[in-house]
Amino acid sequence: MPNESGRAYGLTALCPIKLSDAKHSYASLTRAYLQQLQESSSDDKSPMARVPNTYLCRFFVLNNVNYQGKPAVLDSLKSPYLVFIGELFGDRDTYLRGMWDHAEAFIRQAWQHCVGFDGVDSRDYFASYIERCQVETTLYFNGSTDDPLAEQLKALYMKQEFSKFAFASSGKSPHELQRDFKEFVERTRPSDLTGPTWRPGAATLANVVVDDGNEKR
């Protein structure tokens, strides 16, 4: 189906930005906010890292479409757009309501100059607003599994920790290996998705492990 790849969902929304007036270029203000956000926070501090089941997302301002030359037809946008592209687990509306719950301050800042956003003041109105701005993704392909994000993060953590365990266990006796493996299972808790696990948004090995959602190392 369009927008879907198994249980994963590809969301593309083009939200029109208000036209510039004598005092403001609303597209420039929106772009400046997004650029400042990128420079001031690492991946795991991104407001979107707090949104459940976000595989990845992108934001950018689209001023116009490129003209490829003849035989293409010259086309021009009537307004600039805030483009929101998200890859997520589950259905769209549940995700968008969770996005409002966990990143409302970011949403209000990023979308404040968009046409029709002035009346958006709740999770349901936000989900409805994005639905109206959505563009169908006809050839969506999910580059990972379509499992819930928590399961994927735990798998990343276990892969990293088991690789370290295997390297450290080289040359040990069966008795030592059995003892150390029991300690490994107790420490990593493979069936516990809450922790220890990989931190959402983390892109490097520095400070990637979350323990029960509170402790980190």
Residue ending a domain, choose from 133, 167, 187: 133
Fill in the DSSP letter of residue 145. -
Domain limit, last residue, from 133, 168, 189: 133
Domain hosting residue 167, numbered range: 149-216
pLDDT (tens digit, 9 = 90+) per residue, 7-54? 999 999 999 999 998 888 999 999 999 998 866 667 788 899 999 999
Q: Parallel, antiparallel, or unpaired for β 81-89 and 8-16?
A: antiparallel
Question: What does each C-alpha distance from 203 to 42, 45, 89, 95, 199 come to in angstroms?
Answer: 9, 11, 19, 22, 9
Residue 3 burial (CB count, 10 A): 16
28 and 113 both lie in a single domain: yes
And the tokens for 125? 């109105």
pTM, 2 dp: 0.86
Domain count across the chain: 2
Whether 177 and 206 map to the same domain: the answer is: yes
Same domain, 30 and 65: yes
- Residue 16 sits in the same domain as residue 72: yes
Angle formed by the axes of helices 123-133 and 92-110, nearest 10°? 90
pLDDT, tens digit, 9 for 90 and up, residues 89-130: 999 999 999 999 999 999 999 999 999 999 999 999 999 999
One domain for residues 58 and 120: yes
- Residue 103 shares a structural domain with residue 205: no
Shared domain check, 65 and 169: no
